């Protein structure tokens, strides 16, 4: 029986495992976490809209329904492609086929000060840490006598105007405006300040211009300051310095300005390209190793003269393709080259407001928001998770209330 090993159980690894289930092969999925994380909703955990458990699902609960699929909780340390061996923490796994789906990490572009002082959203604990920081800032501001320091505590700088930055900015603005202003009546004279810094001249660069303008107008109506053509040069514990000599006193910085390949890519003996990603063949394999597939954010593939973006839909389609390709190869058949089919892009801005592109058309406002809600519920793993997320959204929509306002850990050294 052929053995397929999948390194990583994100969107790509999950789809690959599902495609291989019940196909007469032994499938071993390896991940350092025992759960699949729905990363698109991490910002809602950070802004007290959802409990962290509602966007994660145990991997063993997923694969137990899939024939021939098994799970190993371990860190992937490297691979010997010539010997067809995968090195994991404390063990070695032999394979006939390997799918590398390790994903990406935040790219701070060598800015050590930002890496030390800024928060990001790639893991579940990151969202909880950021939520703690936001709520703790309000608690400290409530007893702070110095007006300047109080304003700095209630100033939040967001770096990067992509979908994550825009969605987080909108959610944070609503949290401050509708919820925390009621929780902290002693702060009525100090309005929280949210600053979104974008190095280019537009937000949501992948969207059409009319949707970009809609997003900017909506955010500004919500009280978010949007700064274009500027970039953060350095960060300190209580302030942020921008390129054009602007200084913003702030205790909370959120970085969403880019991602790069996961560290595993650097430990693999293959050529790397931009962002540390691995260049793959049109069938998603590594040159010289037709049994090794790379999918998701780790894979670098040119299509229509542009590299495929590091987004979940690409990872899902590549994972599905890799699984089907292995099944076909095992049966002595061949597969056509991989081709990504762009079904559309969307981002939510706030209550009843979102932007979306689909089937060559642009959508904004309430209709786009409803579609955004439906698709995220559909792709979320677990019936219980879907129900709880839907109930949280409905409760907030009807009562302007967010229940997960919990400071779960006091962390030193991040203020």
Please give the pLDDT value at position 90: 87
Strands 302-303 and 306-307: antiparallel
Q: Note the pLDDT of residue 412.
A: 54
Encode pLDDT of 156-175 as tens digits: 999 999 999 999 999 999 99
pLDDT tens profile 116-152? 999 999 999 999 999 999 999 999 999 999 999 999 9
**DSSP state, residue 54:** G
φ and ψ at residue 239, rounded to 5 degrees: -160, 160
Helix (H, G, I), strand (E, B) or coil at 352: coil
Q: Which structure tokens are listed for 346? A: 């969307």
| pLDDT for res 410 | 64
Per residue in 9-62, pLDDT (tens digit) is: 999 999 999 999 999 999 999 999 999 999 999 999 999 999 999 999 999 999
Give me the pLDDT at residue 158, please: 98
Does residue 411 have a pLDDT over 80?
no
**Cα separation, 314 vs 308, whole angstroms:** 7
Does 273 score more than 60 pLDDT?
Answer: yes
Q: How confident is the model at residue 244 (pLDDT cuts 50, 70, 90)?
A: confident
Would you kindly state where each structural domain of the chain is located, as residue ranges?
A: 3-106+259-330, 112-257
Task: Decide if pLDDT at 413 tops 70.
Answer: no
Q: Binning pLDDT at 50, 70 and 90, where does residue 409 land?
A: confident
Give the model's pLDDT for residue 403: 86
CATH code for the structural domain at 112-257 = 3.50.50.100
Alpha carbons 266 and 268: distance in angstroms, whole number: 6
Tokens of 38: 């729905």
Mean pLDDT over 235-244 rounds to 94
User: Residue 415's pLDDT band (boundaries 50, 70, 90)?
Assistant: very low
- Residue reference for tokens 């390709």: 325
Q: What pairing do the DSSP bridges indicate for beta strands 239-242 and 232-236?
A: antiparallel
For 361-396, the pLDDT digits (tens) are 999 999 999 999 999 999 999 999 999 999 999 999
Q: Which residue has the higher pLDDT, 90 or 84?
A: 84
Predicted confidence band of residue 189 (pLDDT cuts 50, 70, 90): confident
The residues annotated as belonging to the active site are 167
Residues 217-230 have a mean pLDDT of 97
Domain 3-106+259-330 matches domain 112-257 at the CATH topology level: yes
Q: When comparing pLDDT for 34 and 358, which is higher?
A: 34
Q: In CATH, what number does 3-106+259-330 get?
A: 3.50.50.60
| pLDDT for res 360 | 84
Burial 83-102 (b: 16+ CB within 10 A, else e): ebebbbeeeebebbbbbbbb
Angle at 195 between CA 189 and CA 199, to 5 degrees: 165
């Amino acid at each position: 029986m052929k053995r397929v090993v999948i390194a990583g159980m994100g969107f790509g690894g999950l789809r690959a495992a599902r495609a291989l289930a019940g196909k007469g092969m032994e499938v071993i999925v390896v991940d350092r976490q025992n759960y699949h994380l729905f990363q698109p909703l991490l910002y809602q955990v950070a802004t007290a809209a959802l409990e962290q458990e509602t966007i994660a699902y145990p991997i063993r609960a997923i694969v137990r329904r899939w024939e021939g699929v098994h799970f190993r909780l371990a860190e992937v340390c490297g691979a010997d492609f010539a010997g067809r061996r995968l090195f994991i923490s404390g063990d070695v796994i032999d394979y006939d086929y390997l799918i590398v789906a390790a994903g990406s990490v935040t790219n701070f572009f060598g800015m050590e000060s930002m890496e030390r002082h800024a928060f990001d959203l790639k893991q579940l604990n990151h969202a909880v840490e950021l939520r703690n920081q936001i709520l703790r800032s309000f608690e400290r501001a409530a007893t702070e006598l110095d007006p300047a320091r109080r304003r700095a505590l209630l100033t939040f700088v967001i770096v990067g105007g992509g979908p994550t930055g825009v969605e987080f900015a909108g959610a944070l603005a609503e949290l401050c405006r509708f919820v925390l202003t009621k929780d902290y009546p002693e702060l009525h004279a100090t309005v929280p300040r949210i600053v979104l810094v974008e190095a280019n001249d537009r937000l949501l660069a992948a969207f059409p211009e009319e949707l970009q303008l809609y997003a900017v107008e909506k955010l500004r109506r919500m009280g978010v300051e949007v700064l274009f053509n500027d970039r953060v040069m350095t960060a300190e514990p209580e302030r942020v310095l921008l390129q054009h000599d602007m200084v913003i006193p702030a205790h909370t910085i959120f970085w969403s300005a880019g991602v790069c390949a996961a560290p595993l890519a650097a430990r693999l003996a293959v050529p790397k390209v931009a962002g540390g990603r691995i260049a793959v063949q049109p069938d998603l394999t590594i040159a010289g190793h037709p049994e090794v597939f790379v999918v998701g954010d780790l894979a670098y593939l040119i299509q229509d003269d542009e590299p495929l973006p590091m987004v979940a839909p690409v990872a899902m389609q590549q994972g599905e393709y890799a699984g089907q390709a292995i099944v076909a190869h095992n049966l002595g058949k061949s597969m056509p080259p991989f081709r990504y089919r762009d079904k559309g892009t969307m981002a939510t801005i706030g209550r009843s407001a979102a932007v979306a592109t689909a089937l060559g058309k642009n959508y904004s406002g309430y209709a786009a928001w409803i579609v955004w809600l439906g698709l995220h519920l559909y792709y979320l793993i677990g019936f219980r998770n879907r129900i709880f997320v839907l109930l949280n959204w409905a409760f907030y929509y009807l009562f302007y209330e967010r229940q997960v306002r919990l400071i779960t850990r006091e962390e030193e050294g991040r203020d």
